[in-house]
Amino acid sequence: MLGLAASAVVPGVAEAAKPKKQFAIDPKFMPQLVDFPGGYPIGTVVVDPRNRFLYLVEGFGVARRYGVGVGRAGLAWSGKAEIARKAKWPSWTPTANMIKRQPDKYAKYSNGVPGGPGNPLGARALYLYRNGRDTYYRIHGTTEPWTIGTAVSNGCIRLVNDHVADLYERVPVGAAVVVL
């Protein structure tokens, strides 16, 4: 199987996290195996924010590609990190900077939001750390799947919930992440 079919779902994810509005994802953003030169070790996650793709290197010259939503201008992050922690249906708390930038939107969530279908981190989260410290950037699901292929987030990398659940199962804690 080359990837998730357009209609494939991860059991327990799609049923619990139905989007608030109808949407269709451009087929290029569906998970699929693609040629991927670059010399990264197998298991490395490479994010290309400019083109809105995340790659999981699966072999020499081959990667599984997922469509992503990325940070809007001024909020994007780049560099190397590692996945230090993973969570299913994670809780979420906006950062102090998010609350400072948009208090009307985020202050009401300053005590956090429990995990579940309405949580902004979606079905799964992969936590990015650098030098043993939390970067506060995540690769996570979304309650707004129609934003895949756009630059609208607060800097995190977001995937459709079914796609992040698939990635979650394929990537171990300790995996290298490169954000171009």
User: Going from the N-terminus, what domains does the chain have, and what CATH number goes with each?
Assistant: 27-179 (2.40.440.10)
Does 173 have pLDDT greater than 70?
yes
Does 3 have pLDDT greater than 70?
no
Q: Tell me how far apart the alpha carbons of residues 180 and 46 are, in angstroms, rounded to a whole number.
A: 7
Contact between residue 42 and residue 59 where contact means Cβ atoms under 8 Å apart: yes
Residues 6+ apart with CB under 8 A from 124: 86, 87, 88, 89, 90, 140, 141, 161, 164, 165, 167, 168
**Active-site positions?**
140, 156
User: Which of these ranges, 9-18, 74-83, 136-145, has the smallest mean pLDDT?
Assistant: 9-18
pLDDT tens digit string along 10-32? 555 654 555 566 778 999 999 99
